[in-house]
């Protein structure tokens, strides 16, 4: 079920009413309702893949219990390995098998061996990378004694499949989300209305920004050889905003929806395009994934504690793995490696935590230096996005090489209409850049009529200028 669909428009209020008015007597009934509706939500795409979520949940539920029960460290480790094998096994089969198989075939072919490797005719289950990472965080944290294993299967299964963030995150940590399933939730008017505002902003980013940019981006990337350099630059910039609007829009809707049910999910995007360097960008972009890799991969590898070679190795590992998480394609690996290259100088010069505050703090207008830094960071990020969007590496390199010629100063050959919406986005997000989301404000600061005018204006903009419905990009990951 898509967040921007008619089905969801019926689904959400129905679940809301059942949750607060019918199943509100006991927490276990609310959890059971959340579990059932989450499975309905997921099964709307393809009910067959529900079996993967159920299986993964069963394995991790019992692994958690047995890790805790085991007396010896060796036994604990075995249960953890079982959990990892099952979850990474699912990813390996459904997401990466064909990639490795084809890559092996091509590698052998290049040295003169001709083999026909096995490829599987399977489709990628929606959200598999998200929920497997979420459930792995549970067994790892139980193993590390950061979390007591749950004995409540309904709460645990609901935690793994919680519908707002099931298919595209934020990838929640068990330590943050699971305990919320044990506590009694009470309805909070301010939290719920703020949640609705966040949903509204998410819909604006998805339907107006991302979907309008998508039309131009597809047109340019599908026929990039027909366009001049300035148009290719526009294509890359629009893709940067498409992916931001698409993914952060989804996160806003997910977080906002959760707040309607009394849950607090972690912030997943913190206005990343206002970052002054790549390190800051990665603290603000897809925060739930970056911190997942930091806590479960980077730090166990030694983090940045060791010598220079260890820092370089670990940085490349985390960025390349992060790239590979997005998809089984060399383009994502290059995208990750490119970001590692951007990041490394800051790390080695100990400047990776220079910009931890908000850009132009306590100011309305940005200074020249910071503006230059923001533009440079955006430019580097956008360049890397070309690899992310391209179907293969040759394509990406050719696209980039075509950007650097005289026609960069010619008029673009496509409509620039999405820029109008992008400017609206930038202005509103700039004014709210120190908040959790762009429409986060205290009710007492703006009068009710003015607030309602703002909401209706946004809704009218969404309907009036919204482009044709498109799936969320991150569903494919």
Partner 1 sequence: MAKFIKYSILFALGIGLVISIGLMLPNNNAIRSVDYSIIAKHKNLQNAKSPKLILTGGSNVLFGFNSKIISDNLHIPVINHSIHAGYGLKYIIEDVIPFAKAGDIIVLSPEYSHFIGTNYLGKEPLLFSLTAKPENLKLISINQIFNVAEFIPKFSFDRMKSFINNLVKGSIAELDYSKDYGEFSINEFGDHYTHWNKKPTELKIYNFNGEVNIDVIRFLEEKNQELKNKGVKLIISYPSLCLSTYSLNEATINNIHKHLLSSSLSVIDTPLDYSFKDSLFYDSSYHLTGAGVIKRSVKLSTQLNAKIND
176 vs 413 by CB, closer to partner 1: 413
Q: Based on the residue annotation, tell me whether 326 is a catalytic residue of this protein.
A: yes
CB 36: neighbour CB atoms within 10 A? Answer: 16
- As measured in angstroms, the least distance from the Cβ of 295 to partner 1 is 36
The only residue of 405, 457, 460, 471 in contact with partner 1, by rule CB under 8 A: 460
Q: With CA atoms as reference, report the closest residue to 210 among 168, 152, 165.
A: 168
Q: With CA atoms as reference, report the closest residue to 389 among 238, 285, 212.
A: 238
**Residue 47 in contact with partner 1, rule: CB under 8 A:** no
113 vs 189 by CB, closer to partner 1: 189
- As measured in angstroms, the least distance from the Cβ of 461 to partner 1 is 10
**Residue 189 in contact with partner 1, rule: CB under 8 A:** yes
Contact 141, 175 (CB under 8 A): yes
Name which of residues 5 to 44 contact partner 1 (CB under 8 A).
5-6, 9, 20
The only residue of 45, 97, 316, 455 in contact with partner 1, by rule CB under 8 A: 455
Name which of residues 196 to 215 contact partner 1 (CB under 8 A).
196
Name which of residues 395 to 454 contact partner 1 (CB under 8 A).
452
Contact 314, 299 (CB under 8 A): no
| Binding region for partner 1 (CB under 8 A) out of 99-107, 177-185, 354-362, 463-471 | 463-471
Phi, psi of 144 (to 5 degrees): -85, 5
**Residue 456 in contact with partner 1, rule: CB under 8 A:** yes
The only residue of 51, 415, 463, 471 in contact with partner 1, by rule CB under 8 A: 463
395 vs 455 by CB, closer to partner 1: 455
Q: With CA atoms as reference, report the closest residue to 227 among 398, 468, 387, 381.
A: 398
Where are the alpha helices (H) located in 360-447, listed in sequence order?
Answer: 368-389, 393-403, 418-431
233 vs 458 by CB, closer to partner 1: 458
| Binding region for partner 1 (CB under 8 A) out of 25-33, 99-107, 190-198, 383-391 | 190-198
- As measured in angstroms, the least distance from the Cβ of 17 to partner 1 is 9
**Residue 193 in contact with partner 1, rule: CB under 8 A:** yes
**Residue 122 in contact with partner 1, rule: CB under 8 A:** no
Q: Out of 109, 326, 410, 437, pick the active-site residue.
A: 326
196 vs 366 by CB, closer to partner 1: 196
| Binding region for partner 1 (CB under 8 A) out of 135-143, 187-195, 383-391, 438-446 | 187-195
- As measured in angstroms, the least distance from the Cβ of 165 to partner 1 is 22
Phi, psi of 199 (to 5 degrees): -60, -45
**Residue 1 in contact with partner 1, rule: CB under 8 A:** no
Q: Which residues make up the interface to partner 1 (CB under 8 A)?
A: 5-6, 9, 20, 187, 189, 192-193, 196, 452, 455-456, 459-460, 463-464, 466
User: What amino acid positions are annotated as catalytic residues?
Assistant: 326
């Amino acid at each position: 079920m898509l967040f921007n669909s008619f089905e969801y428009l019926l689904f959400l209020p129905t679940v809301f009413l059942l949750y607060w008015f019918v199943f509100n007597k006991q927490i276990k009934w609310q959890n059971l309702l959340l579990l059932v509706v989450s499975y309905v939500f997921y099964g709307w795409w393809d009910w067959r893949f529900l079996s993967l979520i159920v299986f993964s949940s069963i394995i991790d539920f019992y692994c958690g219990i047995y890790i805790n029960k085991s007396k010896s460290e060796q036994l604990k480790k075995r249960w953890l390995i079982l959990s990892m094998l099952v979850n990474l096994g699912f990813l390996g089969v459904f997401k990466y098998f064909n990639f490795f198989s084809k890559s092996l075939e091509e590698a052998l072919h290049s040295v003169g061996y001709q083999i026909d490797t096995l490829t599987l005719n399977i489709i990628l289950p929606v959200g598999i990378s998200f929920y497997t990472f979420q459930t792995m965080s549970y067994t790892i944290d139980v193993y590390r004694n950061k979390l007591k294993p749950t004995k409540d299967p309904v709460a645990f299964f609901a935690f793994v499949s919680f519908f707002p963030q099931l298919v595209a995150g934020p990838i929640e940590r068990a330590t943050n989300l699971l305990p919320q399933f044990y506590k009694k939730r009470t309805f909070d008017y301010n939290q719920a209305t703020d949640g609705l505002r966040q949903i509204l902003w998410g819909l604006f980013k998805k339907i107006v920004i991302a979907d309008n940019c998508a039309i131009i981006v597809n047109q340019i990337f599908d026929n990039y050889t027909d366009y001049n350099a300035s148009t290719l630059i526009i294509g890359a910039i629009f893709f940067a905003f498409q992916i931001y609007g698409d993914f952060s829009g989804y996160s806003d809707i997910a977080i906002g929806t959760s707040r309607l049910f009394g849950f607090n999910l972690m912030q997943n995007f913190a206005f990343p395009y206002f970052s002054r360097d790549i390190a800051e960008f990665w603290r603000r972009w897809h925060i739930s994934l970056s911190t997942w890799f930091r806590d479960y991969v980077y730090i166990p590898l030694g983090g940045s504690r060791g010598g220079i070679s260890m820092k370089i190795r670990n940085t490349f590992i985390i960025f390349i793995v992060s790239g590979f998480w997005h998809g089984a394609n060399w383009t994502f690996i290059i995208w990750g490696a490119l970001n590692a290259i951007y990041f490394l100088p800051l790390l080695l010069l100990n400047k990776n935590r220079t910009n931890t505050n908000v850009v132009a703090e306590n100011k309305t207008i940005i200074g020249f230096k910071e503006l230059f830094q923001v533009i440079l960071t955006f430019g580097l990020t956008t360049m890397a996005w070309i690899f992310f969007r391209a179907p293969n590496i040759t394509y990406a390199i050719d696209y980039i090489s075509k950007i650097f010629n005289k026609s960069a100063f010619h008029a673009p050959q496509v409509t620039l209409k999405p820029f109008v919406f992008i400017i609206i986005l930038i202005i509103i997000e700039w004014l709210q850049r120190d908040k959790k989301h762009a429409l986060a404000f205290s009710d007492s600061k703006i009068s009710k009529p003015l607030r309602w005018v703002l909401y209706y204006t946004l809704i009218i903009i969404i309907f009036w200028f919204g482009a044709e419905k498109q799936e969320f990009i991150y569903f494919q990951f």
